[in-house]
Amino acid sequence: MDSLLKNHPFAVSANFISSTILTFAVSKNELFPLVPAPLSLDLFEDKWAFLTIAMVDTKYLRPKGFPKFLGNNFFLIGYRIFVRYKTSEGKNLRGLFILKSETNRKRMELLGNVFTKYAYTTTDILCKSSRNYAEISSKRSKFNLSYKRIEDEPIPLPEGSVFPSWKEARRFAGPLPFTFNVDTKEHKVLIVEGVREDWKPQPIEVLSQSFDFLKQFHFKNIFLSNAFEIRNIPYAWKKGRIDRW
């Protein structure tokens, strides 16, 4: 029963006040050991794999169909790897594999770990935001990010980005439609599909960033390669489904 509950047993709805997304390019040889079969890395130029950090300020998070006033407001942080999965029906899906999930509320940690396999932990999260500037940080998790929103002016890609232009960079602007969790013993993949509207990621200029979680991997080649923000959109997750491989 516990296992079934963790398979996203019902659809979920929420509003994203903001979703800030950083994507780091890492040598495929360095990320390969972190991704279990049958998932494979989603590559750029057959050289670079990608790890993304999504920081999401959510409002009215609730089971789909429930009224908004029964929803909860949480801040969520997800560390994910861009992957591909070929289903038992032969469909090729692009999505994300979960490395770590954090939230600012104990309630979200408890409920999230009952109904998902995201392994949430609770941490402190401080957000500061004005019209053109934002800062997100945590003392406990030892990360900080500051960035500028620039309207009506071109924003350069982050220095050292592996992408030649924002056009290529947008292909790796998470979250992607699918998230995967692998049960290697049972040869099962849990697939959770996200449903989004008016998805128009806007480039941001990163002023500074540091994430202690990334430092533990001691990557030799890691480059911040894109940074986007999406604001004020509805989002939903479908009920999870199992695919056997």
Question: For 63-93, what is each residue's pLDDT tens digit?
Answer: 999 999 999 999 999 999 999 999 999 999 9
Percentage of residues in the chain with pLDDT exceeding 90? 90
Per-residue pLDDT, averaged over 160-189, amounts to 92
Q: Give the residue among 89, 157, 151, 79 at the shortest CA–CA distance from 119.
A: 79
**190 pLDDT exceeds 90?**
yes
**How many residues make up the chain in this entry?**
245
Domain segments of the chain: what residues? 2-244
Q: Coil, strand or helix: which one is 85?
A: strand
Residue 22's pLDDT band, with cuts at 50, 70 and 90, is very high
The token pair that represents 159 in the structure block:
């220095």
- Residue 85: count of CB within 10 angstroms of its CB: 21
Question: What pTM does this model have?
Answer: 0.94
Residues near 98 by beta carbon (within 8 Å), at least 6 away in sequence: 78, 79, 80, 117, 118, 119, 179, 180, 181
Q: Specify the CATH class of 2-244 in words.
A: mainly beta
| Mean pLDDT of the region 92-114 | 96
Identify the band that residue 174 occupies on the pLDDT scale cut at 50, 70 and 90: low
Query: Residue 182 and residue 38: Cα distance in Å, rounded?
Result: 8
Tell how far CA 186 is from the center of its chain.
25
pLDDT band per the 50, 70, 90 thresholds, residue 43: very high
Contact indicator for 172, 225 with CB cutoff of 8 Å? yes
Instruction: Tell me the C-alpha distance between 118 and 78, whole Å.
Output: 9
The pLDDT score that the predictor gives to residue 196 is 84
Higher-pLDDT residue of 192 and 197 is 192
Place of tokens 């509207």: 197
